[in-house]
A and B are shown apart, each in its own frame.
Chain A
Amino acid sequence: MLSPGLNRRVIARRRERGLFLLAVPALLLLGVLFAWPVLRLLAMSVEGGTLEHFRKAALDGLYVSVLLESMKVAGMVTAICLVLAYPVAFWLSRAGRLGLALGMFALLLPFWTSVLVRTYAWLVLLGRNGVINRALRDWGWIEVPLPLLHNMTGVLIGMVHVLLPYMVLPIYASLLRIDPDLPRAAEGLGAPAWRAFLRVTFPLSLPGVSAGCALIFVLSLGFFITPALLGGGRVIMVSMLIEQQVREFLNWPFAAALSTVLLVATLAIYALIGRLTRGSRLATH
């Protein structure tokens, strides 16, 4: 029986609201153990009602240049990942059953090992007397070891290695969503394969490209372990500065201010990428 005055739409809405309860345990956990501490940290940056810490972060050339350096690293990692990932994703989207299984296995294998272990592995591989340099010298290709470690090269190699799957997967997913009749139609209408790709397939995969780029850029910006271990102090990322402020100087309020700057920069870039690619997304969905 309907109780009087109880609107049918209200009943309908109540049914939908019940589903929200399913998310409550996870939200509770994140809220108490993550969101609340983060908010506390952010609040620390303006403790005592002063913007002093932000002024220091903005005016001291060191901090600004580190932020710019972080963005440069993130940009380079994103670009390298894109160039390496697109062909892989394209191949996977066209591969047969065996190729797909092997490709996916190789792609997801690194996720079974921690980033820390993988980064240490790079130390072994890239060092002056590492596997790579020794092999190249033994074969007589080089005489002086290549500077692969404790510099930008090492950081880029390590970060690209860790982040590459995050670029491949969204591009692969967006390529799969493209109706295979579309490139076929393009070829039937007179397009050579490469023109069909440039005019049809690539533009339609842009949602995946932009998702991958946003993901990698944002993850890179906050990267810590890999640049810390492979950069040898020559590549400083914002996250390393924050860690230094907390661990060495116990300057929590300033670390909080830097964290806030990083968070805001990350969100801004995320929004920017989203806006830049909204056009292509609208066209494809």
Chain B
Amino acid sequence: MKEPAPQPVREPPVASAILFLLTGPILWAGHLTLVYAFQSVTCAIGAFPSAATVIPAFVALATLVAAMVLLVAIWAPGRLTRYRSERGENQTFLRAVSRLLSVLSLTGVLWTGSAAFALDACGRLR
């Protein structure tokens, strides 16, 4: 009789590990997509007569929300994705990488968001 196959070693789902590691960059990408899409569509279709006010307000709100979430990700990595893994050197490494990526992403989000306060919402350079 054939020996039954041993079960493969289980680890937390890879998808949750990836989300845990990349929380910051994913939020950065979401923020950039959101503010760029909103500004482009609003300017193109003239949805709001007062685009000059609405767009900076929207960008500010999106930046604030993204920054808050990123701060949570920096303060308590894993809380957003509920990722849990066994303790050890690997886990310390993943937490540090996740945290530092969130710091980097926060810089990017604030840098991008600040542009809305310096420039005309729909104006072109030429």
Does A pair with B?
Answer: no
Interface residues of B (CB under 8 A from A): none
Interface residues of A (CB under 8 A from B): none
